[in-house]
A and B are shown apart, each in its own frame.
Chain A
Amino acid sequence: MKPNDVPQNSTVIKESSVIDSQEDSVVDAVKKYMELIEQGKAPSLDEFLLKYREIAEQLRPALEGLALLHQANSIPVGHSHKESEAFSSSKPIGDFQIVREIGRGGMGIVYEAIQLSLGRHVALKVLPFASGLDEVRLQRFRNEAHAAAGLHHTNIVPVFAVGVDRGVHYYAMQLIDGKTLSDIIDEMRHANSLSHLASHQPIASSVQTHSESSVNLAHTGDTSRGEHSTVLHSNSASRRRYYESAVRMIHQAALALEHAHRYGVVHRDIKPANLLLDSTGKIWVTDFGLAQVQELDSGLTRTGDPIGTLRYMSPEQASGKKATIDHRTDIYSLGVTLYELLTLHPAIVGDGYRELINHVAEKEPVSPRSLDPNLPAELDVIIRKAISKNPAERYQDGQSFADDLECWLEDKPIQARPPTLVESLSKWRRRNSGLVAVVSVILLIATIALGATTLLVWREEQKTKQALLAERKQRELTEDNYRQAKETVDSFISLSESELPNYPMEELKDLRREFLETSVLFYQKFLDQRKDDPELAGQLSSTSLRVDRLTSELQLLNRILPLLHLDNPEVRIEVGVSDDVADDIIQSIESYDLNRRNQRASGNDDNESYLNDFEQEIESKLLRLNIHQIKRLNQIARQQRLPFTFKSTEIVKLLNLTQNQRSEINRIIEVNRPVISKRPFFTPGPGEPADHPARNQHLSDTISKTVDEIKQILTPEQLAQWEKIIGEPFEFRPRKLHRDYETSSGITEDK
């Protein structure tokens, strides 16, 4: 025996190439089976394997190896053994005689069977329940399955019977001659050479396809095979037809969901594999009432979850908030399905179980349009509304989802709107993809800066050569410009070095403002000095226009941001603003944002007039606030941004901070920046769940320590000024639900 015999068998090589996550689930499954063996409760190997159909191929040999060592019910040698053999030749299950296996479903095997009493062919799903399943939960499943069986809708696969016979749970439904959307998506990917995007599911779920009579898509309305295969490359007319046929499918499914939801049945496992397209082009939603089975069966860990189906799970499902799961989970999953159908890219991507779950719960998918630029903007908006992380931001029912899809089909205006400024700002807190926005702003500014500086240098050289304008004043100006340019470059570099590497949004938001403020300041000075130079004026006018716009927006942003805190009822109480006034202000900010977006969408880039109008509007709204209220709001806004408040242009100006003090402040912030926490210096703001009290405590300690250190480098005059600017500390009390606000906000009137 060689002591370090290296496994060389091909099986091992094959296994080592299996992706890690899959191996992890295989390991978990084998461990589970071992535990069952040790408890003497092991189901037969085949029965156990039913639950892990996604990884069955990898799992089977290991389980058989295990069964060799411990007596288990079934130890076949070789791979010829099929579960179907267990049933097909045997007695009928209930009223159903199995004819053949037609697919491996998400939860069990689907057989074609004959209902003996009626002589009709049905699809019979045999459910993978382990023996000894807890009776209460089993009853819950039966209730739900029976409710689902009571649904009658033209787009829902009718359930004929739910029952149990000799310990085998089954679910009989109409046999649909068709293929699943999952098959169709895979085919399309194949045709568009996107096969690598195919999910890792080795076997399509709930397939009810007759292998001998594959669906002819040419007869299914607009979904002809030709359009399928060329959607990404084809001309706009056939692309449009493809989008329309896809939207029609989802439209039907949305109506089916609406029907089920009205009867209190939530599907909870909507995914392409559960949507069947029959040979007449009609969509059938299948497996109603079966989502329970998975939950029943795999308990808390859900280790058996095939990676592929996680993609369609809603954020509330992924985060395990069972109490908050309602019918809108189906809206989300259907939206994700539409996303994939239209773009052929899964909305949620990620490696492995954990990452996928995290992405479902937190990461905003890239917009469908960025994957397929030809996708009509309305569809992009519809999808993004349907797949909002927050259920309250989705379509609130299947009907409104269906209506918007129908509007699009009929070229009518849709109801959904792109997210507003306020929504974007609040989403910004939890989304990292905002980083992209920041980086693009920075890039834009950097480009302008570089272009302008180069131009400047070139100009100066020209002038020197001509030796016509070699006056003293000009030289001073040049030097001045050079110094300014250098300063800016220095700021860019120090900012990039100290701040850019993957910090969370909460800081980057400030960073962005800081960046804009710094850059804009520079260009304002620059333009100001140059405005009399006729030669440069022409060339710089476009730059100047952009800078003007940036300046206006920035000023506006600086004014709006403190006002947005009025969204929080506690702030309303603190500042003493009535709900009416506060709502009014918030509303006008929202409507401004909407207008601005519409303008931009219509290609009109000149938002100058809107800015002015809005400023006037805000001005008039602000008249309803007194100077103390505005002051307090500004103070709260500054407190919220600590310690970065010290870096804002406003404070730099008000305190008259020197360059040395500013770099010292940067240093102090860097030194105190928590290393481990992923969200350093983040005070929970309004609407933000104050989880992890310990961590928050630690953060606020860190912040006050940083602020104290910074205060020490201020002169006494600056310090006095600072205390005036920042005001009394205002603390958001941690609260969990938005509902709580309502009771407390009533008090505002009395104040």
Chain B
Amino acid sequence: MAQENLHKGQLEPLIDAARLGDGEALGQLLIIFRRYLIFLARTQLHQHMQAKADPSDLAQEACLAAHGCIGDFEGSTLEEFTGWLRGILSNVVAMHLRNYLGTQKRDPRLEQRISNSLTNVSKFLQSELAGDFTSPSGHFARNESFLRLAEALEDLPEDYRTVITLRNIEGLRFSEIATQMDKSVNSVEKMWVRALSKLRDKIGHAE
């Protein structure tokens, strides 16, 4: 059922229903957004805490928090709902980072940084998207395709996802990526190309 809604590009009625207290609608929405949240969480973790925290856990926490405070959500558009979820995730990530760094004090700059970073990643997923890549089958509404992309990215093997994230989203150089991933530049480059093909494959096969 969630898939159906996703395919019809009918997320906004769900959002409306969720805001008005329909728990089931919110549940469906969170299932649809789950991969997106995981991907976003992952982009915040890769440098320091990948080993310490599981992005799925963070996304799960964000979903739970969303359940708890759906009443605070006042928007109605997909854009607003996405932003609201992202804000929650940002808080969850910041809290984990504080624990990880061993500081209990809130650090507004850290939170601002996470929030900005999450926004950027999300923007990348949304605004950079070629609008019509889903058009042949019409499975996605144009403004929803970023969810599909996030899913495809999440579906990739870990190394593939990492290399794409670092190169295309973070904009690192291959030499830097190679250091981070502890591989040779050449193998990172090859992996990147394979990852791109694979990503294209995932999107293509989801038609």
Q: Give the interface of A toward B (CB within 8 A).
A: 1-7, 9, 11-12, 15, 23, 26-27, 30-31, 34, 61-72, 75, 77-78
B105 part of interface (Cβ distance < 8 Å): no
Within 8 A of A (CB), among B191-207: 192-201, 203-204, 207
B158 in contact with A61 (CB, 8 Å) = no
Q: A5 — which chain B residues lie within 8 A by C-beta?
A: 157-158
Within 8 A of A (CB), among B114-150: 124, 128-130, 132-134, 136-137, 149
Q: How far is the CA of A71 from the CA of B196 in the complex (A)?
A: 14
Q: B207 — which chain A residues lie within 8 A by C-beta?
A: 77-78
A1 in contact with B204 (CB, 8 Å) = no
Q: Considering only CB atoms and an 8 Å cut-off, how many residues of chain B contact the other chain?
A: 38
Q: How far is the CA of A374 from the CA of B112 in the complex (A)?
A: 81
Q: Closest A-chain residue to B133, C-beta based?
A: A75
A68 in contact with B203 (CB, 8 Å) = yes
Q: B190 — which chain A residues lie within 8 A by C-beta?
A: 23, 27
Q: A78 — which chain B residues lie within 8 A by C-beta?
A: 136, 204, 207
**Of the residues A4, A31, A34, A65, contact of B195 by C-beta under 8 Å:** A65
**Of the residues A6, A26, A31, A61, contact of B157 by C-beta under 8 Å:** A6
Contact pattern, B 149-160, Cβ under 8 Å of A = 1, otherwise 0: 100101001101
Q: How far is the CA of A62 from the CA of B160 in the complex (A)?
A: 12
Q: B136 — which chain A residues lie within 8 A by C-beta?
A: 77-78
Q: Closest B-chain residue to A4, C-beta based?
A: B158
Q: Known contacts A27-B190, A62-B193, A69-B128; is A1 also within 8 Å of B158 by CB?
A: yes
Q: A66 — which chain B residues lie within 8 A by C-beta?
A: 168, 196
Distance to closest chain B CB from A377 (angstroms): 47
Q: Known contacts A7-B194, A65-B195; is A1 also within 8 Å of B56 by CB?
A: yes
Q: Closest A-chain residue to B56, C-beta based?
A: A1
Q: B16 — which chain A residues lie within 8 A by C-beta?
A: none
Q: How far is the CA of A63 from the CA of B129 in the complex (A)?
A: 14
**Of the residues B134, B168, B201, contact of A70 by C-beta under 8 Å:** B168
Q: B203 — which chain A residues lie within 8 A by C-beta?
A: 68, 77
**Of the residues B133, B164, B194, contact of A15 by C-beta under 8 Å:** B194
Q: Known contacts A27-B193, A70-B168, A72-B130; is A65 also within 8 Å of B200 by CB?
A: yes
B38 part of interface (Cβ distance < 8 Å): yes
Q: A12 — which chain B residues lie within 8 A by C-beta?
A: 194, 198
Q: A4 — which chain B residues lie within 8 A by C-beta?
A: 157-158
Q: Known contacts A27-B193, A65-B200, A68-B149; is A3 also within 8 Å of B158 by CB?
A: yes
A15 in contact with B160 (CB, 8 Å) = no
Q: B204 — which chain A residues lie within 8 A by C-beta?
A: 77-78
B189 part of interface (Cβ distance < 8 Å): yes
B132 in contact with A11 (CB, 8 Å) = no
Q: How far is the CA of A63 from the CA of B130 in the complex (A)?
A: 13
Q: A1 — which chain B residues lie within 8 A by C-beta?
A: 38, 55-56, 154, 158
A62 in contact with B56 (CB, 8 Å) = no
Distance to closest chain A CB from B136 (angstroms): 5
B193 in contact with A68 (CB, 8 Å) = no
Distance to closest chain A CB from B205 (angstroms): 9
A68 in contact with B157 (CB, 8 Å) = no
Q: How far is the CA of A67 from the CA of B204 in the complex (A)?
A: 13
B130 in contact with A11 (CB, 8 Å) = no
Q: Closest A-chain residue to B145, C-beta based?
A: A68
B56 in contact with A64 (CB, 8 Å) = no
- Name 20 A/B residue pairs within 8 A (Cβ), A-sorted: A4-B157, A7-B157, A11-B201, A12-B194, A23-B193, A27-B192, A30-B193, A34-B167, A61-B196, A62-B200, A65-B195, A65-B198, A68-B133, A68-B152, A68-B200, A69-B128, A71-B130, A75-B132, A77-B203, A78-B204
Q: A68 — which chain B residues lie within 8 A by C-beta?
A: 129-130, 133, 149, 152, 199-200, 203
Q: Closest A-chain residue to B195, C-beta based?
A: A65
**Of the residues B56, B129, B192, B198, contact of A71 by C-beta under 8 Å:** B129
Within 8 A of A (CB), among B174-195: 174, 186, 189-190, 192-195
Q: Closest A-chain residue to B207, C-beta based?
A: A77
Q: Known contacts A27-B190, A77-B136; is A67 also within 8 Å of B130 by CB?
A: yes
Q: How far is the CA of A389 from the CA of B128 in the complex (A)?
A: 52
Q: How far is the CA of A23 from the CA of B38 in the complex (A)?
A: 32
Q: How far is the CA of A23 from the CA of B158 in the complex (A)?
A: 21
Q: How far is the CA of A70 from the CA of B190 in the complex (A)?
A: 19
Q: B152 — which chain A residues lie within 8 A by C-beta?
A: 68
**Of the residues A9, A61, A70, contact of B128 by C-beta under 8 Å:** A70
Q: How far is the CA of A61 from the CA of B197 in the complex (A)?
A: 5
Distance to closest chain A CB from B172 (angstroms): 12
Q: How far is the CA of A11 from the CA of B198 in the complex (A)?
A: 7
Q: A3 — which chain B residues lie within 8 A by C-beta?
A: 158
Q: A65 — which chain B residues lie within 8 A by C-beta?
A: 195-201
Q: B186 — which chain A residues lie within 8 A by C-beta?
A: 27
Distance to closest chain A CB from B101 (angstroms): 23
Q: B196 — which chain A residues lie within 8 A by C-beta?
A: 30, 61-66, 69
Distance to closest chain B CB from A312 (angstroms): 28
B193 in contact with A26 (CB, 8 Å) = yes
Q: B195 — which chain A residues lie within 8 A by C-beta?
A: 65
Q: B197 — which chain A residues lie within 8 A by C-beta?
A: 11, 15, 61-62, 65
Q: Closest A-chain residue to B199, C-beta based?
A: A65
Q: Known contacts A12-B198, A69-B164; is A77 also within 8 Å of B133 by CB?
A: yes
Q: How far is the CA of A3 from the CA of B198 in the complex (A)?
A: 17
Distance to closest chain A CB from B103 (angstroms): 28
A27 in contact with B198 (CB, 8 Å) = no
Q: How far is the CA of A9 from the CA of B157 in the complex (A)?
A: 11
Given contacts A26-B193, A68-B199, 13 further A-B contacts (CB under 8 A): A3-B158, A4-B157, A7-B157, A7-B160, A30-B192, A61-B197, A65-B199, A68-B129, A68-B200, A69-B124, A70-B168, A77-B203, A77-B207
Q: How far is the CA of A15 from the CA of B160 in the complex (A)?
A: 14
Distance to closest chain B CB from A14 (angstroms): 10
Q: Closest A-chain residue to B136, C-beta based?
A: A77
Q: How far is the CA of A636 from the CA of B186 in the complex (A)?
A: 49
Distance to closest chain B CB from A371 (angstroms): 35
Closest 4 CB pairs between A and B? Answer: A65-B196, A65-B200, A61-B197, A5-B157
Distance to closest chain A CB from B174 (angstroms): 8
Distance to closest chain A CB from B155 (angstroms): 9
Q: How far is the CA of A67 from the CA of B149 in the complex (A)?
A: 12
Q: Known contacts A1-B158, A27-B190, A68-B149; is A9 also within 8 Å of B133 by CB?
A: no
Q: B167 — which chain A residues lie within 8 A by C-beta?
A: 34
Q: How far is the CA of A71 from the CA of B146 in the complex (A)?
A: 13
Q: B201 — which chain A residues lie within 8 A by C-beta?
A: 9, 11, 61, 65
Q: A7 — which chain B residues lie within 8 A by C-beta?
A: 157, 160, 194, 198
Q: B164 — which chain A residues lie within 8 A by C-beta?
A: 69
Distance to closest chain A CB from B130 (angstroms): 5
Q: Closest A-chain residue to B203, C-beta based?
A: A68
Q: A23 — which chain B residues lie within 8 A by C-beta?
A: 190, 193
Q: How far is the CA of A30 from the CA of B189 in the complex (A)?
A: 9
Q: A6 — which chain B residues lie within 8 A by C-beta?
A: 157
Q: Closest B-chain residue to A16, C-beta based?
A: B194
**Of the residues B134, B154, B192, B200, contact of A64 by C-beta under 8 Å:** B200
Q: How far is the CA of A23 from the CA of B187 in the complex (A)?
A: 11
Q: Closest A-chain residue to B124, C-beta based?
A: A69
Q: How far is the CA of A64 from the CA of B136 in the complex (A)?
A: 15
Distance to closest chain B CB from A188 (angstroms): 35
Within 8 A of A (CB), among B71-123: none
Distance to closest chain A CB from B16 (angstroms): 30
Q: How far is the CA of A27 from the CA of B186 in the complex (A)?
A: 9
Q: A62 — which chain B residues lie within 8 A by C-beta?
A: 193-194, 196-197, 200
Q: How far is the CA of A71 from the CA of B129 in the complex (A)?
A: 6
Distance to closest chain A CB from B52 (angstroms): 13
Q: A2 — which chain B residues lie within 8 A by C-beta?
A: 158
Contact pattern, B 50-64, Cβ under 8 Å of A = 1, otherwise 0: 000001100000000
Q: B157 — which chain A residues lie within 8 A by C-beta?
A: 4-7
Distance to closest chain A CB from B196 (angstroms): 3
Distance to closest chain B CB from A364 (angstroms): 32
Distance to closest chain A CB from B30 (angstroms): 17
